[in-house]
Structure 1
């Protein structure tokens, strides 16, 4: 029996972002299974090379939806909250820094998995896959922070007109 996923937030703008988080987490599961298999030494060398190629492809497919999501937050959500809580420190600043950290892990992984991977040893592959694992962990914790800190701020701080405008701005596809 499939359990129906309930939204945590009633505000339409927050439901858009929460739904995007749910989608991204679902997509991440596919590539995280490969990361876990590397961590648990489940591959032969040949299987590792194939798995690494698959992992690279899945992460590349993941980048556009992730970037579309984070760009919407950075363009619309963060500036609106920053009017009330500032950007020098605090949750908006911390969240933006996490976006950069995610980009760095994914970029580092992609950089080290370019070209011919057939010469990579199992240890080389495990080392580079760690970046994908770190990206997964940062993204997962990041979404929890947004949903437990930033999203309630939207509910509590923004005026109704601002919430409505934010919904109009965010109601676009990340695909």
Structure 2
């Protein structure tokens, strides 16, 4: 699925590798939501419990990944962009949108609690699906545009610093 022939430096490859792992989690979340649609009654409630656990764990992993980008990569790239370039603002906005969908899911699941019914499970699961849709597009943008841009713009020293930031 690699559309570009860019060879990434270690820190950028690290972010790419995280996308692979996050996509595996996203695939599992999507499969659970699909299974919920084809089931009924108690099976939906059980699947929703599994979905809640998966979304919660995924949210934590995504937050860690986003923090690496927002605290390390994005500021470094921004220093090289024109003043009116909105690339990084757009990436941050997509992070916020995806995280908001996940937070909405987790909040509503928590409010519904163990007495959740099939209908509520269905509409709450939509938040997770919305997050996945946002992230699918977002990851593609980062991999096709942002990471190659970073590879071209960042100096060797900046890439070493980025790697150090990721390890800390």
Determine if the TM-score, normalized by the shorter chain, exceeds 0.5: yes
- How much has 1:119 moved relative to structure 2? 4.4
Once superposed, what is the RMSD of the aligned Cα atoms?
1.9
Measure the CA separation in 2 of the matches of 1:88 and 1:17: 26
Q: Distance in 2 between matches of 1:95 and 1:156?
A: 18
In 1, Cα distance between equivalents of 2:14 and 2:62: 14
Deviation, structure 1 residue 53:
0.8
Q: Kindly state the Cα deviation for residue 118 of structure 1 after the two structures are TM-superposed.
A: 2.9
- Alpha-carbon distance, 1:170 to partner: 2.2
Whether 1:34 aligns to 2:32 is yes
Q: Is the 8 A contact 2:98 2:131 kept in 1?
A: yes
1:118 matched residue in structure 2 = 115
Deviation at 1:86, TM superposition (A): 5.3
**TM-score computed with the length of structure 2 as normaliser:** 0.88
Corresponding residue of 2:41: 45
Unaligned runs of 5+ in 2: none
2:114 corresponds to 1:150: no
Q: Which runs of 5+ in 1 are unaligned?
A: 1-6
Query: Hey, what does 1:16 align to over in structure 2?
Result: 14
Task: Quote the residue 1:61 is aligned against.
Answer: 57
Tell me if the contact between 2:73 and 2:162 (Cα under 8 Å) persists in the aligned partners.
yes
Count of residues in Structure 1 that have an aligned counterpart in Structure 2: 163
Q: Distance in 2 between matches of 1:159 and 1:8?
A: 16
Structure 1 CA distance for aligned equivalents of residues 91 and 7 of structure 2 = 19
1:72 aligned residue (64, 68, 86): 68
Aligned-pair CA distance for 1:89 = 4.8
TM-score by length of 1: 0.85
Equivalents in 2 of 1:134, 1:128: separation in Å?
10
* Cα offsets for 1:14-67 (capped at 9, x unmatched): 1110011111111222211011223xx311111111111110011111122111
CA contact (8 A) 1:86 1:92 kept: no
- Please state if 1:132 is matched with 2:117: no
Task: Give the one of 137, 144, 147 matched to 1:141.
Answer: 137
Provide the rounded CA distance (Å) in 2 between the counterparts of 1:60 and 1:119.
17
Report which of the two has the higher share of helix: 2
Moved more, 111-120 or 64-73: 111-120
